[in-house]
Structure 1
């Protein structure tokens, strides 16, 4: 870490017409660092990063519990944590381009949970990977582990369950925004000898992990939302919310993707 006066003196040498190589040789400062100073003179404030609440002597909950509950739902659905280098991990949540509002909400939640870390949007075919680097993602999401989530046990830590209990709708919204949807179903009925078409909305949540499906249904139960389990080829697969009162409640707190 070089102080501001050292940076200014080095850039003054360049301003005299000296080459990058000669200035680097004279000062012992790498060319990469000097090039970086040409676009950002002020030193980065290494003390600006907030400590991880889970790494404190007395572990605490995240400062933005509602944002955390939403991000937790997104992570359990379409997120993953991977090791980058030197003890740094990156959290990545994949969001379809079809839902720009969802992408913005994911970026906002991730930034609120780690306000000192930059959040990136990495464009891929048909989707964006919302990504953020931090040493503390495994602390904040202890569900991280080797292998696919549906091939290992997924359970909330006690402090996470307390957050979900305090902000259940944010958690459900994150799950639905990741692996769920709101659709309009239709059926026909014979009325007075005439077949009529009826349409009705319903919510679906699809996840191979039985543990993650149960996290959703346990939370729905606490909120009085009726649900049913749908199977595919005899295997449990979908959670459906179709009763009118329950759909109306979901519409108030979750709503369709946007």
Structure 2
């Protein structure tokens, strides 16, 4: 007898378009068993009401530290998809160049919603860290039709309170998704000639003016100076600001 969580995961992966063979390989169950579940042979919803799983709906505790990080990742490279059977899928795209970031996103997703299994879906040049439960819609009310930069993005009061308490974790999520730490260079004329020197700098780019605003608000909470270096980009280049971001973000890994 397989646990109910395994059945839920199998049905959710079916909604995401995976074959019974692939689902069985991921969950460690026979393909025939997955096919039986998909035919309604053992539907958890018919057996009993699902146990409480949502911090927002059921009053369960929420890992605020991990949620602040996951919220930043979601606003940068995340989205929620609702496939044909109406099981919401939260996915955060993580480039294969940064396996450490991908691992951190998966850990945060599992900590925020422990009842939903986390899966890696292979894409070209990246993996989508994905988890299936309709309660992701409760935790990310910013979900809506169209791309984020085409609609208003605002935090709910309870989300804003978490960001105020953990601005560094929120910034880490934002910069891990749509930011980077680079070595900038400049020249300076001296008595001995023109001297080139390098210094570290952080960039965060996003097409949504609202998300850029949330990033600057978090930077202000940490007294980190910033400037708009481009219409869709802000930068942190002052030594004290870079040092502060190094403590909470640092280079991608």
- Bin the TM-score by the shorter chain: 0.7 to 0.9
Structure 2 counterpart of 1:190: 189
Structure 1 counterpart of 2:133: 134
SS of equivalent residue, structure 1 residue 199: strand
TM-superposed deviation, 1:51: 2.4
1:246 and 2:245 equivalent?
Answer: no
1:111-159: CA deviations, max 9, x gaps?
0111111101111121011011001111100000000000000000000
Supply the distance in 1 between the matched residues of 2:209 and 2:226 (Cα, whole angstroms).
Answer: 15
Contact map agreement 1:154 1:211 (CA 8 A) in 2: yes
Q: Superposition pairs for residues 103-122 of structure 1, below 5 Å?
A: 103-122=102-121
Structure 2 counterpart of 1:206: 205
When normalised by structure 1's length, the TM-score is 0.79
Contact map agreement 2:54 2:60 (CA 8 A) in 1: no
Supply the distance in 1 between the matched residues of 2:48 and 2:166 (Cα, whole angstroms).
Answer: 33
Q: CA RMSD in A?
A: 2.6
Unpaired runs of 5+ in structure 2?
A: 4-30, 38-42
Higher alpha-carbon Rg: 1
Supply the distance in 2 between the matched residues of 1:105 and 1:32 (Cα, whole angstroms).
Answer: 34
Q: 1:196 to 1:68 in 2, by over 3 A?
A: same
Contact map agreement 2:225 2:236 (CA 8 A) in 1: yes
Supply the distance in 2 between the matched residues of 1:115 and 1:160 (Cα, whole angstroms).
Answer: 19
1:68-110: CA deviations, max 9, x gaps?
1100000000000010243310001000000000000000000
Unpaired runs of 5+ in structure 1?
A: 4-30, 38-42
Q: 1:72 to 1:2 in 2, by over 3 A?
A: closer
SS of equivalent residue, structure 1 residue 84: coil
Contact map agreement 2:70 2:109 (CA 8 A) in 1: yes
TM-superposed deviation, 1:189: 1.1
What is the count of residue pairs matched by the alignment?
A: 219
Contact map agreement 2:119 2:130 (CA 8 A) in 1: yes
Q: 1:107 to 1:197 in 2, by over 3 A?
A: same
Moved more, 175-184 or 189-198: 189-198
When normalised by structure 2's length, the TM-score is 0.80
TM-superposed deviation, 1:46: 7.2
Contact map agreement 1:50 1:116 (CA 8 A) in 2: no
Structure 2 counterpart of 1:65: 64
Structure 1 counterpart of 2:223: 224
Supply the distance in 1 between the matched residues of 2:221 and 2:204 (Cα, whole angstroms).
Answer: 17
